Structure 1
Amino acid sequence: MGRNHEVTTSHPLLGNDGELTEPGWSRALIQRYDRAMIKAPTWRIKEWDYYLVLSDSFAGAFTISDDGYIGLQSVSLLEFGDNPKEHTETVLNAFPMGKLCLPASSEGGTTIYEDKRLQMKFETAPSKRHITCHFDNFYMGKPFECDIWLSQPDMDTMVIATPWDKKHAFYYNQKINCMRASGYMLYDGKKYEFNPAKDFGTLDWGRGVWTYDNTWYWGSGNTDIDGIPFGFNIGYGFGNTIAASENIIFYNGKVHKLDDITFNIPAESYMDPWTFTSSDGRFEMNFIPVLDRSANLDYKIIVSDQHQVFGKMSGTVILDDGTKIKIQDMMCFAEKVHNRY
């Protein structure tokens, strides 16, 4: 089933009734998000910016979020060497309810969070993004800091506007892939330096009103294929995606739209080999896990069971024009997350 309605004209994301004016996908953030147009209660609104910056041997992940009655600000440091390990540190805020003033667009403005322990800032500049962070007592009493630049030339992105089958609930999301990464992270006397010749960053920018209980699947990665930037974004599980899926291949700055993808996750262990299959045969992959960044939070009303699995993907993708591209040992991640919040 080809769910491929592309939105091509600019207009407000929400109508006067608080519902999406045009569910579907687009190559840029052309539908205009305005928090004031939301008809749901303020405590149901979820807004976040999430950056993942990934090399073959290490990664950093950075989240600033205002999820209505809770804010989750987090930093992850991951290593994929002989002894894979990760540490995630999260600062929780009660009832931010819009006080973080996250920008209405990913294309401008500054996303910032500051308290005595954590100072984190995401800045946008022409063709660039800048991530800076200082986190006191990140782990074992030692601080973490980073100063990372991502380059964002004029290129297609993945944007999706998805309704739920519930009044005033919707999800507006942009994934920006294939941004070359430079700069560094610093922890415990070790400097992790990103190389723009082979390392990339991805932005997951989300705004909307979610229902309470959701399970989603998401996978993403970037690399160079014979010197040409390649990336993918795959996912499903939340909202009514009858108008469009978020399954996309990025190649040389352009997107190639895919139909349905299935994550075949082993029942025994997330660390066993996975496969990914596609309804149109255009995304067929094997995935060898290296590290499961798992987290299980249970605060009764707020419950989160996360498995973000990093590993190496190999297989074949097919572009819109029928060109076959072979992928070999591409470092990426795929996740399954169940949230009640």
Structure 2
Amino acid sequence: MSTQEGRVEREIEKDVDLCLKDGKLNVHSVGFSRHPLQDCKIPGHWPRKKRWNYWCIYDADFLVSLTVSNLDYAGVCFVYWLERSKDRFEEYTEIAPLGHGVHQGDRVEDPAGFKNSNMELIFQQEPGAEDWQLQGSVKKKGTVLVETDLKVINPDSSESLNVVVPWNTSEFQFTSKRIGLRAAGTIHCAAGSHTFDPETSVAVLDFGRGVWPYSSVWNWACGTMRKGKRSVSWNLGAGWTDGTPSTENGILIDGRLHKIFEDVVFDFDPTNFKRPWRIYTRESDTVDLTLNPEFERTAVSNLLLVSSSVHQMIGKFSGTIRIAGETIRVSGASGWAEDHKARW
């Protein structure tokens, strides 16, 4: 892992296009913003473009995730849920050749969706409304296996982490991590029905648009701790940002983003992902967290030229965050860390 000592990322404060008209990276988009200001229209680059809208909503008892993604040559859309107390888990994936049935926009606030005979996903903000609606259903031979009617409460009331990561002018990624949000609504599945309460639930959006190298490796960690009216959330990443002028590292305190410019180290055992993960800032004591995994989600696919291996460890964080002149003690905070290797 290369480090960028003294790295300072430019803060973007007005709307900007991710790309030039020829599909090359607009260098003026490189940096971070506190709100999603980036228009991610990407001309050309078929079949290298990657686009995804990943939502996850969880509380102490239950977790559900819904994703609409398009890899140019295939849409990959999936739904999974976890009954945390019983480690009961199910995941459903639909592959759409050439992305048929996938609908996504170029900005974070644009609706996204997918529909075929087995799965329907709709992510949208009703005109004039503050909240986001996340609706989904999974069927098999006409029988409904999963149904969600979820609402993310006014995500625009909070700042978020929005970053453009350039590998070069032909390969780049915009990521928007909207973390620590509140959610409401219900999921119906084989475990029964579960209703999320805005006071105790957490919603996370991972929005990505970019042109990726064929072989990619990344780590991602995300979590939230609430005590009384105080909310502290973190988004930390490594691997894919190494050697670039950007990181996806930030701490959100009561809706205010504190950007971390230095690299983060993910220390874990790749032979046993269930052992504790230590995640810490390389050059300072800003972040020193340990994730104790409770459940391992594994998603592995191998289609000769295209493959993916994900180990997402869902559990609880402990440790310290030192930011904005204070030391925050983290204990029993739910979230996850993952290791992902892809040839795509």
**The two structures share one fold, judged by TM-score above 0.5:** yes
Q: Which residue of 2 aligns with 1:128?
A: 131
2:57 is equivalent to residue 53 of structure 1 = yes
Structure 2 letter corresponding to 1:34? K
2:266 is equivalent to residue 263 of structure 1 = yes
Alpha-carbon distance in 2 for matches of 1:330, 1:19: 37
Deviation for aligned residue 1:223: 2.9
Alpha-carbon distance in 1 for matches of 2:293, 2:192: 25
Deviation for aligned residue 1:62: 0.6
Alpha-carbon distance in 2 for matches of 1:324, 1:70: 45
1:65 pairs with 51, 65, 69, which one? 69
Q: Which residue of 2 aligns with 1:85?
A: 88
Structure 1 letter corresponding to 2:19? L
2:278 is equivalent to residue 272 of structure 1 = no
Q: Deviations over 1:88-118 (max 9, x none)?
A: 1100011128x734111112x3211111111
Q: Which residue of 1 aligns with 2:215?
A: 213
2:18 is equivalent to residue 13 of structure 1 = yes
Deviation for aligned residue 1:73: 0.6
Structure 2 letter corresponding to 1:30? L
Alpha-carbon distance in 1 for matches of 2:187, 2:251: 29
Q: Deviations over 1:293-323 (max 9, x none)?
A: 0111111111111100001101111122x11
Deviation for aligned residue 1:221: 1.4
Q: Deviations over 1:158-216 (max 9, x none)?
A: 01111124x52110110111211110110126111111111110000111111111010
Alpha-carbon distance in 2 for matches of 1:2, 1:330: 30
| CA distance 1:21–1:272, change in 2 (3 Å) | same
Q: Deviations over 1:52-74 (max 9, x none)?
A: 10111210011001110011010
Structure 1 letter corresponding to 2:106? A
Contact in 2 for aligned 1:12/1:21 (Cα 8 Å): no
Deviation for aligned residue 1:131: 0.5
Contact in 2 for aligned 1:162/1:241 (Cα 8 Å): no
Root-mean-square deviation (CA, aligned residues, Å) is 1.9
Alpha-carbon distance in 2 for matches of 1:185, 1:203: 18
Aligned runs of 1:219-298 on 2, under 5 Å?
Answer: 219-239=221-241, 242-258=244-260, 259-278=262-281, 279-298=283-302
Aligned runs of 1:53-202 on 2, under 5 Å?
Answer: 53-81=57-85, 83-96=86-99, 100-107=102-109, 109-125=110-126, 126-137=129-140, 143-151=145-153, 152-165=155-168, 167-188=169-190, 190-202=192-204
Q: 1:63 is paired with a residue of what secondary structure? A: strand
Q: Percent identity?
A: 23
Structure 2 letter corresponding to 1:14? C
Alpha-carbon distance in 2 for matches of 1:128, 1:3: 36
Alpha-carbon distance in 2 for matches of 1:249, 1:55: 20
Structure 2 letter corresponding to 1:48? W
Alpha-carbon distance in 1 for matches of 2:318, 2:197: 22
Structure 1 letter corresponding to 2:334? M
Contact in 2 for aligned 1:20/1:163 (Cα 8 Å): no
- Structure 2 gap ranges (5+): none
Alpha-carbon distance in 1 for matches of 2:307, 2:13: 37
Deviates more, 1:61-70 or 1:185-194: 185-194
Contact in 1 for aligned 2:311/2:339 (Cα 8 Å): yes
Q: Deviations over 1:261-307 (max 9, x none)?
A: 11110244111112112122111112111001011111111111110
Q: 1:43 is paired with a residue of what secondary structure? A: coil
Normalised TM-score (structure 1)? 0.92
* Number of aligned residues: 331
Contact in 1 for aligned 2:167/2:244 (Cα 8 Å): no
Contact in 2 for aligned 1:200/1:223 (Cα 8 Å): no
Q: Deviations over 1:216-250 (max 9, x none)?
A: 00011123133212211000212565322110000
Deviation for aligned residue 1:85: 3.0
Contact in 1 for aligned 2:225/2:330 (Cα 8 Å): no
Normalised TM-score (structure 2)? 0.91
Alpha-carbon distance in 2 for matches of 1:315, 1:239: 24
